[in-house]
Amino acid sequence: MKKDENVKLTAAQAAIGGLVEAGTGEAFHTGSWRSDRPVWDKDKCINCLTCWISCPDAAIKTAQDEKKGTVVIGIDYDHCKGCGICARECPPKVAALHMEPEKK
Ligand code: SF4
Ligand code: SF4
């Protein structure tokens, strides 16, 4: 399907269920919507991955470590909307994530 935003589809041309195109989220940098941003403390993080599984925008970045397996490596600020779920779900005793006002 053509990606031109100006192309208008009729109802008959749209896919069943109204799904026009999947997987487009990566193209839109929704991080500009934030009023607060999560700040990750690498030294406190125990890599439980609770933040990763809780983030609705898949904005917790991970990588594979030979010894530790999947580890958190940071936050994708291009797509994080600043909802604060990750900071809320990080175990309180660990507190490796907290929210701060977004700097303009
Ligand atoms: S603030 Fe929300 S969107 Fe951003 S990384 Fe945390 S859970 Fe994901
Ligand atoms: S929830 Fe907290 S401790 Fe667990 S991986 Fe995320 S930042 Fe690290």
What CATH number is given to the structural domain containing 87? Answer: 3.30.70.20
Q: What integer pLDDT is reported at residue 10 of this predicted model?
A: 77
Ligand 1 centroid to Cα of residue 52, in Å, is 9
Q: Note down the domain range covering 52.
A: 29-101
C-beta neighbour count of 53 within 10 angstroms: 10
56 occurs within a structural domain: yes
14 occurs within a structural domain: no
Q: Please give the span between the terminal C-alpha atoms of the chain, in angstroms, as a whole number.
A: 37
List C-alpha distances in Å: 86 to 59, 75, 77, 94.
Answer: 10, 10, 13, 13
3 occurs within a structural domain: no
Interacting residues of 100 by C-beta distance below 8 A, sequence separation 6+ = 36, 37, 39
7 occurs within a structural domain: no
Q: What integer pLDDT is reported at residue 11 of this predicted model?
A: 73
Provide block-wise average pLDDT over 10 residues at a time, the chain (104 residues).
64 73 78 94 98 96 97 97 97 97 84
15 occurs within a structural domain: no
Q: What integer pLDDT is reported at residue 3 of this predicted model?
A: 57
Domains in the chain, number: 1
Atom index in ligand 1 nearest the CA of residue 37 equals 1
How far is Cα 50 from Cα 56, in angstroms, rounded to an integer? 12
Q: What integer pLDDT is reported at residue 104 of this predicted model?
A: 63
Mutate to test the pocket of ligand 2, among 39, 41, 45 (most ligand atoms within 8 A of CB): 45
13 occurs within a structural domain: no
